[in-house]
């Protein structure tokens, strides 16, 4: 069963109370949602949002015991205000967004997110989206690919990798994750440290395919207009591009008198959680309260 990252810390810092309305912007496998529902028992409602219809089905099964307290919506958390209005949902007192991939997505080769399991080069959160990772790898110019890998993956060998990809695709297009990962590894000369050499390239493609930074920016821009005084917003980021945006947005909001910083510094998983769930290692949690 999917185990949510920083579960204890999220509950402690969001501090949901019995009967309060809460929102899980990234319902995923339902782990955080389940914890929030238990904390707001017996009658606190939860709105769960996710772009991944498959994940929502899993969340629905996991949360079925909570009955009508749960409302699940397929969509982008960037449209939080619209989702709340469409659902007729009361003003939430706690909102959570976990920006990481769920185990459901990583462990399914057919989704194309994993470096360790060969599958189609897809990477879409929503299967209704039109652009896949294969479209970008096979269609973008060399310069555009290099910029994408550098800006969204912070990949220092971006130009060398882009050049190798373009050379290889002239023979045949890329179709699978293993094919791309092997090409990237050859371009940079094999494994560097404990992470796979294609990790940053895969990150960049996933972010681009799903417009992840644009969605996060929109959530950060509009959250203050959705939340009422005393309500809290928690965001879990998994790489510096996300965490930097959250940090700067929260800091600016605090200076403007919109937010109170509940966490002065990001909260990271305990050593015990990292050992139990290595995927949690890079998670950083920041929380603010609406003034």
Torsion (CA) 133, 139, 145, 149 in degrees, nearest 10:
0
Helix 158-169 and helix 177-188, axial crossing angle in degrees, nearest 10: 130
Helix 177-188 and helix 199-210, axial crossing angle in degrees, nearest 10: 130
Q: Which residue has the tokens 């973008």?
A: 140
Phi, psi of 36 (to 5 degrees): -65, -40
Residue 167: which pLDDT band, with cuts at 50, 70 and 90? Answer: very high
The percent of residues above 70 in pLDDT, for the chain, comes to 98
For residues 48 and 70, the answer to whether their CB atoms sit within 8 Å is: yes
| Residue range 85-107: mean pLDDT, rounded | 93
For residues 181 and 109, the answer to whether their CB atoms sit within 8 Å is: no
Give tens-digit pLDDT for 31-79: 999 999 999 999 999 999 999 999 999 999 999 999 999 999 999 999 9
Q: Which residue has the tokens 């529902």?
A: 37
Q: What is 7-105+212-290's CATH topology? A: Rossmann fold (3.40.50)
pLDDT in the model for residue 191: 62
Nearest to 236 by CA among 279, 177, 185, 181: 279
Across-strand partners of 49?
A: 73
Indicate if the pLDDT at residue 216 is higher than 60.
yes
Q: Where in the chain is the domain with CATH 1.10.150.170?
A: 111-210
The domain covering 111-210 belongs, at the CATH homologous superfamily level, to: Putative methyltransferase TM0872, insert domain (1.10.150.170)
Q: Which residue has the tokens 């307290």?
A: 69
- Give the distance, in angstroms, between the CA of residue 26 and the centroid of all CA atoms in the same chain: 7
Q: What is the bridge-based pairing of β-strands 232-237 and 284-290?
A: antiparallel
pLDDT in the model for residue 104: 84
Burial grade of 61 (CB within 10 A; 0-12, 13-18, 19 or more): exposed
pLDDT in the model for residue 107: 86
What letter does residue 238 receive in the DSSP assignment?
-
| Residue range 207-234: mean pLDDT, rounded | 98
Burial grade of 143 (CB within 10 A; 0-12, 13-18, 19 or more): exposed
- Give the distance, in angstroms, between the CA of residue 243 and the centroid of all CA atoms in the same chain: 11
Helix (H, G, I), strand (E, B) or coil at 173: coil
Give tens-digit pLDDT for 230-274: 999 999 999 999 999 999 999 999 999 999 999 999 999 999 999
Q: Where in the chain is the domain with CATH 3.40.50.150?
A: 7-105+212-290
Give tens-digit pLDDT for 109-159: 999 999 888 999 999 999 999 999 999 999 999 999 999 999 999 999 999
What letter does residue 114 receive in the DSSP assignment?
-
Residue 103: which pLDDT band, with cuts at 50, 70 and 90? Answer: confident
Integer Cα distance of 73 and 148 in angstroms = 31
Residue 192: which pLDDT band, with cuts at 50, 70 and 90? Answer: low
């Amino acid at each position: 069963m999917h185990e949510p990252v920083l579960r204890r810390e999220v509950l402690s810092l969001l501090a949901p109370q019995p009967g309060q309305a809460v929102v899980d912007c990234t319902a995923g496998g339902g782990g955080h949602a389940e914890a929030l529902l238990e904390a707001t028992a017996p009658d606190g409602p939860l709105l769960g949002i996710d772009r991944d219809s498959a994940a929502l089905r899993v969340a629905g099964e996991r949360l079925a015991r909570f009955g009508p307290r749960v409302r699940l919506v397929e969509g982008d958390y960037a449209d939080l205000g619209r989702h709340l209005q469409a659902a007729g949902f009361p003003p939430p007192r706690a909102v959570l967004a976990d920006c990481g991939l769920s185990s459901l997505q990583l462990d399914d080769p057919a989704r194309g997110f994993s470096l360790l399991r060969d599958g189609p080069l897809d990477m879409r959160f929503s299967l209704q989206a039109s652009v896949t990772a294969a479209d970008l790898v096979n269609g973008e110019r060399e310069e555009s690919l290099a910029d994408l890998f550098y800006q969204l993956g912070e990949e220092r060998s971006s130009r060398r990798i882009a050049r190798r990809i373009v050379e290889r695709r002239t023979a045949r297009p890329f179709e699978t994750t293993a094919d791309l990962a092997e090409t990237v590894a050859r371009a940079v000369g094999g494994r560097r440290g404990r992470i796979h050499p294609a990790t940053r390239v895969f990150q960049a493609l996933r972010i681009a395919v799903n417009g992840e930074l644009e969605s996060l920016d929109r959530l950060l821009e509009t959250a203050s207009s959705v939340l009422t005084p005393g309500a809290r917003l928690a965001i879990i980021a998994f790489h510096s591009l996300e965490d930097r945006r959250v940090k700067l947005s929260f800091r600016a909001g605090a200076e403007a008198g919109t937010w109170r910083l509940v966490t002065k510094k990001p909260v990271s998983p305990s050593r015990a959680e990292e050992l139990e769930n290595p995927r949690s290692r890079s998670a950083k949690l920041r929380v603010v309260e609406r003034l």
